[in-house]
Amino acid sequence: MRSPRHSLLRLVLLLAGGAVCAATLGAAAGQEPAPQAKKAPVFRSAVDLVTVNVVVRDRNGNVVKGLKREDFTVLEDGKPQTVDTFGFEEVDAADNPPPPSEIPTILGGVGRPAPAPLVGRPVVDMHDRRLVVLMFDLSSMQLEDTQRALDAARDYVNKKIGQADTVAIVTYSSSLDVAQDFTSDKIQLLNTIDRLDGIEGMGFEEMLTVDPEATADDTNGAFVADDTEFNMFNTDRRLQALRSMIDALAGIQQKKSLVYFSSGMSQTGMDNRVAMRGVIDRAVRTNLSIYSADMRGLQAVVPGGAASQASTRGVSAFSGRGVSRAFDSMSSSQDALSSLAEDTGGRAFFDRNDFGGVFDRVIADTSAYYVLGYSSTNLSRDGKFRRMRIQVKRPDLKL
């Protein structure tokens, strides 16, 4: 049983607490609420525009002009899409006025880390221009391979560049470097190529490719270190350089071409394959085609090995196993280049010593084409690829 003194003390404390609460509420009620600044309404909207190039030819192979938006049908996963943007690019038309001489700086920050999203990049209008990037992968080429690449580029600038051609030159060794931003000045391009002349390639791709099935007898008993991790890292760095180049060109809606000079590219493990698919996805979304050229040229595989390699020993040189492994190694180094080209709408060039066909194909693919753009009706962002099909309503034409 509580004492009377304890009950009286509790009653005093309760009354005091009630008085404090009442005073606080009274003070709050007597104050005027502070006016809040009115915020301007913000409306945000975003549209993902899918662009695709279409070259239309007749039965004789001539480019067909004068088609309209209504002549095309765009299907995505079998569902029809509405063509929102439509245009026709004819770069080499004789009656075309020369494009403006001022060319904005496009590759200024290409060596820096680029933001991941492609949406929101500033749009650069390069209408009536053929955009070509010459990329020299010095990390994979030997000195003679680099020389062949520079000679091919020099011949292209001297003989095949027109008034609408705009060319940029970049190199990759241990880092990505812009040797020349986009320009139409032949003298400036030739001077840039001359500065690269004599630069010795690193040749990592050829020097560090080791046959995992080679025995001690096949390698003269020498110890060969396992360079799988290094090759994987080297390939990832080269793919990252390609991706940085593609991201830098994302603001240009017109078709772009990248000529990739290298001496092969090996894929090791799932990491390289994921990076490869990322590069291809970015290239397709930014309307860029890759034309890969293996600068090793026409190669001959002999049982005893090339003159630059140590002779093999054992039975592999006579049983055919050594030649078979050499073919597999060469084919493996070209598979990645083939994927980069074919999956982006370009073309891969292997086993040839004349590389003028690379530029002939670029010119043919970019001389006259239609540009169609649509906003997909499938709004899901599940990261899956979608099958797009373009049709023309006239049966006598070929896309």
pLDDT in tens, 70-95: 999 999 999 999 999 888 888 776 55
Domain-located, residue 323: yes
Q: What is the pLDDT of residue 16?
A: 46
Do the domain assignments include residue 102?
A: no
Within a domain: residue 263? yes
Q: What is the mean pLDDT of the chain?
A: 75
Beta bridge partners of 262: 294
Tell whether 207 and 84 lie within a shared domain.
no
Contact by Cβ (8 Å): 365, 55: yes
Same domain, 346 and 210: yes
Indicate which CATH number applies to the domain containing 254.
3.40.50.410
Q: Residue 106's pLDDT is what?
A: 74
Q: Are residues 291 and 373 in the same domain?
A: no
User: What is the average per-residue pLDDT within 343-367?
Assistant: 85
Residues in the chain: 399
Q: Contact at 8 Å (CB) between 352 and 119?
A: no
Question: 139 and 280 in one domain?
Answer: yes
**pLDDT for the residue 291:** 95
Q: Do residues 270 and 312 share a domain?
A: yes
First and final C-alpha spacing in the chain? 100
Assess whether pLDDT exceeds 80 at residue 115: no
pTM equals 0.69
Q: Is there a single domain that holds both residue 85 and residue 137?
A: no
Number of domain units in the chain: 2
Same domain for 348 and 385, yes or no, is no
* 174 assigned to some structural domain: yes
Q: Are residues 356 and 378 in the same domain?
A: no
197 and 54 share one domain: no
Q: Are residues 380 and 348 in the same domain?
A: no
Does a structural domain hold residue 97?
no
* Pair (312, 339) in one structural domain: yes
Q: What was the pLDDT predicted at 59?
A: 85
Residue 375 has pLDDT above 60, yes or no: yes
Domain ranges, residue 396: 47-91+367-399
Q: How far apart are CA 341 and CA 134, in angstroms?
A: 14
Residue 22 banded pLDDT, cuts 50, 70, 90: very low
Lowest mean pLDDT among 55-59, 112-116, 358-362: 112-116
Same domain, 380 and 347: no
